[in-house]
Amino acid sequence: MGMKFRCERDTLVEALSAAGRAVTTRGGALPVLAGVRLELVGDQLTVTGSDLDLTITVVIEVAGGEDGIVVVPSKLVSDVVRSLRPGSVDVAVDDDDVRIVSSPSEFSIRTIPADEFPELSGAEGDAVTLDAGEFRAAIDQVEKAASSDDARPILTGVLMAAEADGLRLVSTDSYRLSVRDLSGTAILSEGQTVLVPSRALKELSRVVGDQDQITLRLGERDAGFEVGGVSITTRLIEGDFPNYRGLIPQNHPNQLTVDRETLLDAVRRVRLLAQESTPVRLAMSDDGLELVAVTQDVGQAHEAVEASYNGTDLTVAFNPEYLIDGIEVAPGDEITLETVDELKPALLKAADDPNFLYLLMPVRVS
């Protein structure tokens, strides 16, 4: 079983690290899943990493010497190649070792039996092409609000739902909810929904780079995304997403309009004094907005922010991280914060973009 190729270090590092991001770090998994699979055909090297739920495949051009397939320890080989001097790297497999040579360095690493690597199939389904920049922006706007707690798998997904005029992405971790509409993008038939793990979308966002298009396939159980030479396949999450529409209050008597960057900077500053999960308070009145953070026995921060406000005087407290997440991803220069009272969910929107909303639960303060 031989295999030989030569490749630029940086190209190989990128491929190994992208595919390696799908590799399982969980103990108790199949040992072969700690490896990445390299398959060389001609001058095309395909690098695959998987934990069975998420699979990332990267295809790169190399100078091929001898076709073959090998599975190598993902992290170790990635670290080794990254450590080499810039320039070309020679990779050769003989027997149970892979030799990685870039003069004056030479490494020899034991391989993993390739026949144990699982057979992985891509997602079935019709291919749809999307504008990569727009889809990436949409992912970045919703993935933060998805839960990272595997105890409630449904909330770790992003709901993709067909709406009358396009595609809607929704995520929630039960403290906040993010909704982004991509109008004119028809992927599913109306009323159809799929639940895509946010982890897969996060990896997709990471590899988009300056590509123009993403190709998407939605199957019964899997979703596949292709961008550049990278393919990401993920198992869909089964189960019913919460009825998020019922959570969004229909009318908000109070409305605050404020410059997005100004508010973001101010919240970041006062958050320094919101320690040990202390909330940041937003005091809204005709005079504008005042931000306050107080941590017992540590100190306090106050900042006045220029804003226009319509409504009754109101002070609402929020988790500063969640508030910042929403302000950061809101499109446009101005945002509006719509509130009912200090306990009902507040709605953060872009002043001039109806396709995004971020719903945030206030924190009770005594």
Cβ–Cβ under 8 Å, residues 236 and 195 = yes
* Superfamily (CATH H level) for 127-246: DNA Polymerase III, subunit A, domain 2 (3.10.150.10)
Of 167 and 233, which is predicted with more confidence? 233
Q: Residue 1's pLDDT is what? A: 62
Average pLDDT over every residue of 8-14:
97
pLDDT in tens, 12-28: 999 999 999 999 766 66
Label residue 190 by pLDDT band (50, 70, 90): low
Task: Give the tokens for residue 252.
Answer: 């908000």
Q: What is the distance between the alpha carbons of residues 319 and 323, in angstroms, rounded to a whole number?
A: 6
Q: Residue 24's pLDDT is what? A: 73
Concatenating the DSSP letter of every residue in 147-200 gives ---TTSGGGGEEEEEEETTEEEEEEE-SSEEEEEEEET---S-TT-EEEEEHHH
pLDDT exceeds 90 at position 121? no
Average pLDDT over every residue of 64-80:
95
pLDDT exceeds 80 at position 29? no
Q: What is the distance between the alpha carbons of residues 49 and 77, in angstroms, rounded to a whole number?
A: 13
pTM, 2 dp: 0.88
Q: Which of 89-98, 113-122, 213-222 has the highest mean pLDDT?
A: 89-98
Cβ–Cβ under 8 Å, residues 262 and 289 = no
The secondary structure of residue 112, as a DSSP letter, is B
Q: Residue 21's pLDDT is what? A: 94
The secondary structure of residue 341, as a DSSP letter, is S
Give the ranges where the chain is alpha helix by DSSP (H).
9-20, 74-83, 132-142, 198-208, 260-271, 320-329
- Where is average pLDDT lowest: 99-103, 120-124, 195-199? 120-124
Task: Give the tokens for residue 320.
Answer: 């500063």
The secondary structure of residue 22, as a DSSP letter, is T
Of 210 and 304, which is predicted with more confidence? 304
pLDDT in tens, 306-361: 999 999 999 999 999 999 999 999 998 999 999 999 999 999 999 889 999 999 99
pLDDT in tens, 198-219: 999 999 999 998 899 999 988 8
Instruction: Give just the sign of the alpha carbon dihedral 320, 324, 330, 332.
Output: positive
Task: Give the tokens for residue 108.
Answer: 């020899």
Q: Residue 26's pLDDT is what? A: 67
Q: Residue 276's pLDDT is what? A: 80
* Superfamily (CATH H level) for 248-360: DNA Polymerase III, subunit A, domain 2 (3.10.150.10)
**Domain ranges across the chain:** 3-116, 127-246, 248-360
CB atoms within 10 A of CB 82: 14
Q: What is the mean pLDDT of the chain?
A: 92
pLDDT in tens, 225-284: 999 999 999 999 999 999 988 888 888 899 999 999 999 999 999 999 998 889 999 999
Concatenating the DSSP letter of every residue in 230-244 gives EEEEEEPPPSPPP-G
Strands (E), 286-352: 288-295, 299-305, 307-310, 314-318, 334-339, 346-350
Average pLDDT over every residue of 50-72:
95
Task: Give the tokens for residue 232.
Answer: 């990401």
Let me know if domain 3-116 sits in CATH 3.30.300.130. no
Q: What is the distance between the alpha carbons of residues 168 and 185, in angstroms, rounded to a whole number?
A: 9
Q: What is the distance between the alpha carbons of residues 22 and 199, in angstroms, rounded to a whole number?
A: 10
pLDDT exceeds 70 at position 72? yes
Average pLDDT over every residue of 187-207:
87
pLDDT exceeds 70 at position 151? yes
